[in-house]
Chain A
C-alpha cells in the first residue's frame, strides 16, 4: 500500500504525518506538530520527519512520495509540493467528510476556502495584511498577559464578563490589551474579548466567501478552544444556518491533505510510467 509523508511547513510550526493508502480510506500512521521557535526550520523539518518515520516503523526508502505544503522549498528532498489551499481542503475533507468549506487560521492569516465533495477548491477569501486575525497575534497577546499559549483557550472559556476589544487592528488591539491590564480587567475576560473580536472577523470572512454548509476549522488556531467557542457563539448570535467544527487533528489538515494528494499523484505517475517515481525510489536525506 502507498506510503506517503505530508509536511506542512508553516511560519511558526512544522506539521508532519505519515499516511498509508489513498483517499478517505487512508490512515494516519504517525503524526507530529512541532513549533519552530528560534531554531533553523530545516533542522526542525528533519527532526520531525525522522520522528514520524520512527513512529511508523518506516525508513525513508519505504516512502513513495514526500508531499509538502506551506514553505515546501525548505524540504529539499520533497517529491512534490501542493499549495496550502489545495492541501487544507483535502485534509479538511478527510477529517470531516461533511465539510464543504475550510476555515484555515494560521500564524499569519486566515482563509475561508469553499470546496466540493472531491476537495476541489471552488473559491476562497483571505484576510488582508492586518495580523489581528492570526495566530501570531494571539501569541503576542498571551505574552503580554504572561499566559502560556496552551492555557489561552480554557482561560478564555472561563470568562464571565468579556471585555470588548474595540479595535480590529493588531497594533491598536495590543494597545487596548495593555490598557485593560492597567485597568485591572481579569485575564480570562481580556482573552475572551480578543477571541470574540477575532471570531467576528472570521465569521465575516466566511460570509464573504458565501459559506452555507459545514465548515471545518484548520490551522494552528483550530486548537484554540477559546476561539472556537467564540466563533460558535457569534454564529449562534447571528443565527447562521451552518456550523463550524473542529477535529483533534485539525492542526494537521495541511500535512494530511498534502500526503493524500501525494498518494494520488504517486498513482497517476506510476500509471503513466513516469520516471520521477521510479528513479527516486528510496529518497535519501
Chain B
C-alpha cells in the first residue's frame, strides 16, 4: 500500500499524488479495504459531500470524479445524449467495468440534472449498493439550516446502518476536527500559493488536493504538510507570468496537461475552484454542540460561492473579491463542455468581472481532451495581453 511517509522528496510526493490521480481502478481504496476488513468505502460525486459522516462511520470517503483521460468509454455513451457532459459517461463506464465495485455506497449531491439522472441510473444498475441523493439547501437561513441538518441526519443514520454501527455524536465531532484540520491546511497551502505561485504550480497543487479523495484524511493532512515544505524548499525561481484565477472546473476534471499548458503559456493560476468540495466550507465547522447542526450551519453560512448554490444577487461578488485578494490580473473561465451550472453562471460572473475591470477569456474542455494547442494559443495570447497591454 502506498503510504505517506515523512521526509519524501518533492518528486516522490508528486509521483504519489499523480499515481492516485490516474488510478481509475481505485487500487489505493482496495488496499485500504484489505488492511481494514469490515469497514466501508463510500464514493461521492462532485462537488461536496459530508465526508465527515463516512469517516465517523469508520469508513473511507472516496472521490468519484469520472475517469479523466484514463478510461476508454465503451458502454457509458449509451446512457447519455451527445449534449450531456462527459463525467457521467465515464462514471457509468467505471461502474460497469468493475472499477467502482470496491465502493459500498455512493453519494450524489444535487448539483445539476445530470448528476440527479446519474443517481437514478446508478440505483437501477447497482440496486445492491446504497446510493444517496443529497439535496442541497437553497435557503440560506434557518429553514435551510434545519432542512440540511435533516438531510445529513438521514444519510448519517443510513451510513451507520451500512457500517454496522450507529454514528455517535462523539465520533462525528472527532471526524469534523480531522476535516477542520484538512481545511486549515488547504487554506495554508493557498496562502503559500498566493505568495509564491512559482513554487506551487496548479497541476501539482491540484494533484495533492485531489489525492485526498483516495487516501484517509489523516494521511492527506500529512501529505499537504509535506508538499508545502518540499515545494517551499524547491528553490524554483519566479517567472514573469500573468496571475490568473481559474473558474468553472469544479466538477468534471480537466486533464492535468491542460493545467500544465496554462502555466507553460505564461499564466500563474493563483486561485481556482478545482476539487471545490475540499475547500467549499470556509474556516472550521467546529465541534461544539450538535455536530449535525454544526455541519449544516457551516454549509449554509460559510460555503463559498458555487454554481449549484443560488444566493440572490451574489453571483460574481466572491469571484471578484477572491481575484482582488489573489492580486489576479485576469480570469480564465475554463468549464467542461455542456456543464450547465458552470456555463449558466458564466454570463453573470463575466458581468461582475468586467465591472471590476478584470480581463477574462473563456474556453471549454472535456475530461478526456488530449489536444491543447488551441487552449495554449488562447491562454498564451491572454497572458501576453495582460503583460503587454494591460499596463498603462
Contact = CB atoms under 8 A, between A and B. Distances in A.
A78 B238 CA distance: 9
B238 A83 contact: no
A192 interface: no
A265 B238 contact: no
B384 A83 contact: yes
A89 to B, nearest CB: 10
Contacts of A73: 264
Interface string B236-259: 011111000000000000000000
Given A121-B381, A264-B388, A83 B240 contact: no
Interface in B366-392: 377, 380-381, 383-384, 387-389, 391
B110 interface: no
Interface in A52-91: 65, 72-73, 77-86
A79 B239 contact: yes
Which of the listed residues B237, B380, B384 has the most CB atoms from chain A within 10 Å of its own CB? B384
Given A72-B264, A77-B237, A83 B388 contact: no
B163 to A, nearest CB: 48
A280 B380 contact: no
A79 B389 CA distance: 18
Interface residues of B, number: 17
A273 B383 CA distance: 20
A86 B238 contact: no
A86 B384 contact: yes
Nearest to A80: B240
Contacts of B239: 78-81, 276
A120 interface: yes
Interface string A97-131: 00000000000000000000000110000000000
A227 to B, nearest CB: 24
B266 interface: yes
A279 interface: yes
A159 B275 CA distance: 63
A86 B381 contact: yes
A80 B388 CA distance: 12
Nearest to A111: B377
A172 interface: no
Interface of A is mostly: helix
A265 B390 CA distance: 12
B391 A280 contact: no
Interface string A8-41: 0000000000000000000000000000000000
Contacts of A264: 388
A269 B264 contact: no
A280 B264 CA distance: 20
* A80, A84, A269 interface centre (most CB from chain B within 10 Å): A80
Interface string B109-151: 0000000000000000000000000000000000000000000
Contacts of A84: 380
A80 B380 contact: no
Contacts of A275: 238
Contacts of A137: none
B265 interface: yes
Which has the most chain B C-beta neighbours within 10 Å: A73, A77, A81, A82?
A: A81
Given A72-B264, A82-B266, A280 B237 contact: yes
A84 B241 CA distance: 15
Contacts of A269: 240
A83 B380 contact: yes
A83 B237 contact: no
Contacts of B380: 82-84, 86
A83 B391 contact: no
Contacts of B241: 80-81
A178 interface: no
A147 B308 CA distance: 63
A280 B381 contact: no
A193 B380 CA distance: 36
Given A265-B387, A280-B238, A80 B381 contact: no
Contact of A279 (B238, B377, B384, B391): B238
B240 A265 contact: yes
Nearest to B263: A73
A157 to B, nearest CB: 34
Contact of A80 (B264, B266, B377, B389): B266
A261 interface: yes
- Output the residue of B240, B383, B387, B388 with the most chain A CB within 10 A: B240
Given A79-B240, A86-B381, A280-B237, A120 B265 contact: no
A276 B388 contact: no
A185 interface: no
A112 B50 CA distance: 53
Nearest to A280: B237
B378 to A, nearest CB: 10
A169 interface: no
Given A84-B380, A86-B384, A268-B387, 10 more contacts: A81-B239, A81-B241, A81-B265, A81-B266, A82-B380, A261-B387, A265-B240, A265-B388, A268-B391, A276-B240
24 contacts: A65-B240, A72-B264, A77-B237, A80-B241, A81-B241, A81-B264, A81-B265, A82-B380, A83-B266, A83-B383, A83-B384, A86-B380, A86-B381, A86-B388, A120-B389, A121-B381, A261-B384, A261-B387, A265-B387, A265-B388, A269-B240, A276-B239, A279-B238, A280-B238
5 A-B pairs with the lowest CB-CB distances in the bound complex, closest first: A80-B240, A83-B380, A86-B384, A81-B266, A73-B264
Interface of B: 237-241, 264-266, 377, 380-381, 383-384, 387-389, 391
